[in-house]
């Protein structure tokens, strides 16, 4: 029985990689052909690297929705559906408001995942849902999200070895991070080359999947610690770009790692929308050294204020 279970799990891992690799290659070809017919809309960005299919992350989304443990996979499915709507509609405004359809669907997706997952995971589901933000920001550069997903999945597997989670008796728990890693490895080659974009459907699905394995590793404490570690890893990987962005675009002089961390944690359209709601057009100037170290200049930076305080 033990041998059969192990062989089945290994076969599943192999097939997950093959399906991810072949499906990604095939969907890339299909999207490029459809783009020539002008029917893809926001799922093809002609301005990025000479033309790049967007939303290819639908492949890992589908595989994760099927292969992760029962009930947990429903969380990935729910978030992925709203994320794909975000990909399709892009940054279109809702009527005459300043709110974008993408912001709305992402917000609804996050709240829906929290509601569905709370009976299953308790308060940990809040951190799992919020992991969408860092993974979404990481997907702005080719290969960053893939690297983060693979590294954190491998770390989780090693941690399960260390704390002694039984490999066979808890097969679905132990093999979940391996499944996530091999799906990402199958998808990743074209992403690393910058030939495809994962899109919200991909990075959101991977975000929820990572959060799930963090929870399976050690409940709320593990979820919280690895949430912080994942955000810090993304900030470290994007530090060179973030230094230029914060200095040139936001006027934050001599940004520190705390600013990078806060940009990953709270940047992007959804974070800016929250700032607009809370701050209006007010710009808060941060001068206290300890708050500067911890990134409060970026945290409290309001893009809707009439001026940027560092210029």
Whether residue 272 contacts residue 303, with contact meaning beta carbons closer than 8 Å, is answered with: yes
Break the chain into its structural domains and give their ranges: 2-230, 241-299
Whether residue 197 contacts residue 56, with contact meaning beta carbons closer than 8 Å, is answered with: yes
Q: Indicate the pTM of the whole model.
A: 0.90
pLDDT confidence of 168, banded at 50, 70, 90? very low
Nearest to 74 by CA among 44, 118, 36, 104: 118
Residue 265 above 70 pLDDT? yes
Nearest to 58 by CA among 178, 195, 205: 205
pLDDT in tens, 44-101: 887 767 678 989 999 999 999 999 999 999 999 999 999 999 888 876 777 677 677 7
pLDDT in tens, 123-147: 999 999 999 999 999 988 899 999 9
Whether residue 47 contacts residue 90, with contact meaning beta carbons closer than 8 Å, is answered with: no
45 strand-pairing partners: 52
pLDDT confidence of 162, banded at 50, 70, 90? confident
217 strand-pairing partners: none
100 strand-pairing partners: 93
């Amino acid at each position: 029985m033990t041998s059969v279970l192990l062989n089945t799990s290994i076969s599943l891992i192999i097939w997950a990689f093959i399906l991810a690799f072949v499906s990604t290659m095939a969907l890339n070809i299909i999207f490029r052909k459809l783009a020539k017919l002008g029917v893809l809309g926001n799922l093809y960005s002609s301005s990025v690297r000479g033309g790049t299919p967007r939303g290819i992350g639908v492949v890992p989304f589908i595989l994760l929705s099927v292969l992760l443990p029962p009930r947990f996979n429903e969380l990935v499915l729910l978030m992925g559906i709203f994320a794909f709507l975000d990909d399709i509609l892009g940054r279109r405004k809702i009527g005459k408001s300043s709110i974008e359809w993408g912001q709305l669907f992402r917000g609804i997706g996050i709240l829906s995942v929290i509601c569905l997952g709370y009976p299953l995971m308790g308060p940990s589901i809040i951190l799992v849902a919020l992991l969408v933000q860092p993974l979404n920001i990481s997907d702005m550069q080719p290969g960053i999200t893939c690297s983060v997903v693979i590294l954190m999945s491998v770390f989780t597997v090693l941690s399960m070895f260390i704390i002694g989670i039984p490999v066979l008796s808890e097969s679905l728990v132990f093999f979940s991070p391996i499944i996530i890693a091999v799906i990402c490895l199958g998808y990743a080659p074209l992403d690393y080359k910058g030939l495809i974009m994962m899109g919200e459907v991909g990075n959101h699905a991977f975000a929820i999947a990572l959060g799930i394995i963090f929870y399976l590793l050690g409940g709320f404490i593990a979820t919280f610690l690895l949430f912080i570690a994942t955000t810090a890893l993304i900030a470290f990987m994007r530090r060179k770009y973030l230094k230029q962005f914060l200095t040139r675009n936001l006027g934050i002089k001599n940004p520190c790692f705390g600013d990078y961390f806060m940009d990953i944690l709270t940047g992007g359209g959804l974070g800016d929308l929250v700032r607009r709601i809370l701050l209006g057009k007010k710009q808060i100037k941060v001068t206290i050294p300890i708050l500067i170290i911890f990134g409060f200049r970026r945290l409290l930076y309001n893009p809707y204020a009439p001026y940027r305080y560092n210029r």
